[in-house]
Structure formats: C-alpha cells, structure tokens
Amino acid sequence: MIDERLHIKGEMDSRLEVTDAPRLKQDGQTPFFKALKKNLFDGPKNTLLTLLTALFSGLVLYQVVQFAVTNSWDVVYIHLRLLMIGQYPLEELWRLWFALYYASLMIGGTWGLFKGAGKAVALTFGSVFLAFAIIPWTTLNTTLNLVACLLLMAGGYLLGSRFSVLKIPALVLWALYFPLTLGLIMGFGGLLDPVLSRYWGGWLLTVILASVAIIGCFPLGILLALGRRSELPVVRYFCIAYIELVRGTPLIMVLFIGQLLIPLFLGGQTGMDNVTRAMIAYVFFAAAYLAEDVRGGLQSIPGGQYEAAQALGLNKIKTTFFIILPQALKAVIPAMVGLFITILKDTSLVAIIGLSDFLGTARRISNNPEYLGRYLELYVFVAVFYFIFCYLMAYVSRYLERSLSKGSR
C-alpha cells in the first residue's frame, strides 16, 4: 500500500532539501548569536513561532514570579512543621533526625563511591536541607540539625571518594537503612516506646507510605512475574487474573478495599490502624504493576542464558534466582524507577480516605477558616516538593538508562 503510493507523482518534490547542512554566513557575528539565529529566527515561520512562544512563556513566567514575590506565604511557614511531620511528638524528633543523619551520610558516601547520578541526588538533598536551614521560620534546633546533615553529607563524600573499599559496606548500610529507621520510629517491637502511626503526617507519612509500597511490592511483584511465566497453567492463570484485575482497577478503589474490606476479611475486630491498611493496599496494588515491568525484563533475557545455566547443571530455582532475575531486574531499572515516581505521586490519594499525608495536611490547613481562600500558596508549596523529588527520580532514571545501555553495547 505504502509502496504503491510512493509512485504518485504529486507527492514527489524534485528539489532536494538539505536542511541539516550548516549555514556558513561570515558576517562577524559571535557564534552564540549565530546559533540563536539558526535555531530561532530561521525564516519567517520560525520567527513567528519563536515570538509567539516567547510572548506566551513570558506571560506565564511573569505571573509565576509575581505570585511568588507578592505572596506573603505565611500560611505555609506557620504550618511548616505540620506540613513536614504532621502531629509527630516533638520529644521523639531525635529518631527522625537520626534517620536524616543516616541518609545524609549515605547519600554523600554514595556520591563519593559511585559518582554518576549520586551527585544529582546529593546536590538536590543538600539544596533542600540548605534551603530549610537558612529560611528564618525554622527553629534554631532544626537549623543546627540540618547543618549537621550537610556536614555529614560532605563527610560521607570525602570518605567515599578516598576509600573505595567501602562500596560493599555502603550497599549493606543502604539495605539496612529502611528497616533500621522504620524500626526506630516503631520502637523495634518494644525496645523503645513506639511512635504510633496516627501521629505520622505530612511529608513524613508520604515518604513512609511510598517507601513501604516500593520495598514491599518487590517480593510479591517478582513472584507474580515469575508466576505469570510459569509452565504450570494453574499458577500462570492465577497470576494473570490477579495482575489484570488489579491493573484494571483504579487505585482509589484498591484503597477503599483496603480500608473497608480488610477488617471484614480478617474477622472484624483487628487492631489494624488505617495507615497499615493503606500500606497493605499500596503493596498489593504496586506489586501488579511491578510484575508487569519485571515480566518485560524476563522476556528480554535470551534463551541461551537458560540453556547455559542448564548446561552448568543449575536447577530451576538456582537458574531463576542467580542467572535470570539479576539480569532481568537490571534491564528494567528505568521502568521500575518510573513506577516508583508513580507510587510517590499516588500516595497523595490517601488524602481522599482521610489520612493526613502531605497533600491531606495541606487540604486540612486550607479548610481552617482563618486561612480561607489561601489554597494556592499551600498547594504550590506541596507541588514544588513533589516536583523536586519526582524530577530527581526521573533524572536518575534517565541517567541509569543511558549508563546501562552504554554497558551493554
């Protein structure tokens, strides 16, 4: 069909367009202006396009700057602590600071050890810490702690760039990070007084929910992906049914199921609080999506890998866990980071079921009659925060995609 159409006379143009060739005009302009001219004012159509775009973006930029400068932002900084940690008890703050210290040291160390995208992560976290340290609305205590975080990050970087033997310990410490910090907040099952989940709120709750969902979905998601490629039809169809059912259902419905049906399924009176129920819902939801990503990775493994493993005498379980899965997971790292971004954004949905996460807290503050109509400041603050961390993850994902494809070439 296409081949036939190519012979139609009217579609042909006898002139050869050589648009890619550089235009050499020796008129004494600096290279910058030349590039500018070639890119933006190359013919009347392009000039018009440039002018219209410039006008539009100028208008938007003006509005944004005007909004940012003329606004008083007091509704944000008065509630800064509420937005960041919710009702978290002040006397237990040291646990959070410990988590931040730990993270800072690790981020700095990772930058020093592995270079690459670690730089962007460290710089982003460093800038956020710095911004919160220098704004006048945080307490002295906070400022000092944040400065300590920055120092730890710098120290971590120095350590990491000096001693490359620390690579394995760093990975072990990263693996321990989440169990340790969440354990600290929850009191290690009785060693310390737990900080109950009803006191978690704001950005803290968002981060905890997202982390639990991201880490928790791995075992289930990988099992589902393997199950979907299983040779046993019963297992395969069960996994397909689960994955398609969950992927066909909106997240908010899964959250409702978690809130309303989990107590019913578990026989009425369980002491499970609504944060835990939301976590379970997120884990089961994210697992179905992760399974599809991992399946993509499994499909990309050439059959020779299975045959080679068989030739070496590995059994099926060993083949799967030592040969196939590591390669499959590595191949889909960018897709998984994309999923993590989605999960972080989607944790905002708990605001609908009444939890006070980052967005939910902003919503509650804006319902306060004292700050009636001050929606935009609050929501813009929330948006900027989400943007910084989602964009950072997207950047890391793009970086990994490039470096991974470089490695396989």
- Kindly identify the residues of this chain, within the stretch 263-302, that bind another protein according to CB under 8 A: 263-268
**Neighbouring-strand partners of residue 202:** 357
Full DSSP string of 25-39: --SS--HHHHHHHHH
Among 34, 37, 50, 166, binds another protein (CB under 8 A): 50
Q: Which two three-digit tokens encode residue 167? A: 């690579």
Asked whether 282 and 218 are in contact (CB, 8 A), the reply is no
User: Pick from 25, 29, 53, 171: which binds another protein (CB under 8 A)?
Assistant: 53
How many residues bind another protein (CB under 8 A)? The answer is 72
Least distance to another protein from the beta carbon of 187, Å? 29
Q: Please state the closest distance from residue 78 (CB atom) to another protein, in A.
A: 18
Q: Residue from 134, 260, 308, 312 that binds another protein (CB under 8 A)?
A: 260
Told to check if 91 binds another protein by CB under 8 A, we report no
- Segment contacting another protein by CB under 8 A, of 92-100, 164-172, 381-389, 397-405: 381-389
Give the nearer residue to another protein in terms of CB position, either 181 or 366.
366
To another protein, the closest distance from the beta carbon of 231 in angstroms equals 7
Q: How far apart are CA 207 and CA 345, in angstroms?
A: 10
Most distant CA pair in the chain, distance: 84
Handedness of CA 44, 46, 49, 55 (dihedral sign): negative
- Please say which residue, 131 or 266, places its beta carbon nearer to another protein: 266
List 124, 161, 249, 305, residue binding another protein (CB under 8 A): 249
Residue 257 touching another protein (CB under 8 A): yes
Cα gap 359→344, rounded to integer Å: 12
Which residues, other chains included, contact 75 with Cβ-Cβ below 8 Å and sequence gap of 6+? Answer: 365, 366, 371, 374, 377, 378
Query: Least Å distance between CB 140 and another protein?
Result: 32
Give the residue, chosen from 42, 80, 92, 147, that forms a contact with another protein under the rule CB under 8 A. Answer: 42
Based on C-alpha coordinates, what's the Rg of the chain? Answer: 27
Instruction: Output 184 or 222, the one with its CB closest to another protein.
Output: 222
Among 25, 29, 54, 127, binds another protein (CB under 8 A): 54
CA distances from 64 to 69, 122, 240 (A): 9, 28, 47
Tokens of 90: 């002040």
Q: Minimum distance between the CB of residue 376 and another protein, rounded to whole angstroms?
A: 4
Is 140 a residue that touches another protein (CB under 8 A)? no
By beta-carbon proximity to another protein, the closer residue of 16 and 90 is: 16
Select the residue interacting with another protein from 133, 147, 223, 235 (CB under 8 A). Answer: 235
Q: Which two tokens stand for residue 66?
A: 């005007």
CA distance 408 to 402: 10
Binding to another protein (CB under 8 A) within 212-231 occurs at 231
Residues with Cβ within 8 Å of 338's Cβ and at least 6 positions away in sequence, in order, are: 394, 397
- Beta carbon of residue 322, minimum distance to another protein (angstroms, whole number): 20
Amino acid making up residue 294: V
Indicate whether 355 belongs to the interface with another protein (CB under 8 A): no
**DSSP H stretches of helix in 187-265:** 202-228, 233-247, 251-256, 262-265
Site for another protein, residues 1 to 40, rule: CB under 8 A: 2, 4-17, 19, 39-40
Stretch that binds another protein, among 41-49, 143-151, 279-287, 326-334 (CB under 8 A): 41-49
For residue 159, the minimal CB distance to another protein (Å) is 32
375 lies in the site for another protein, by CB under 8 A: yes
Cα separation, 171 vs 163, whole angstroms: 14
DSSP 341-404: HHHHHHGGGGGTTT--BHHHHHHHHHHSGGGTT-HHHHHHHHHHHHHHHHHHHHHHHHHHHHHH
Q: Which of residues 322-351 bind another protein (CB under 8 A)?
A: 341, 345-346, 348-349, 351
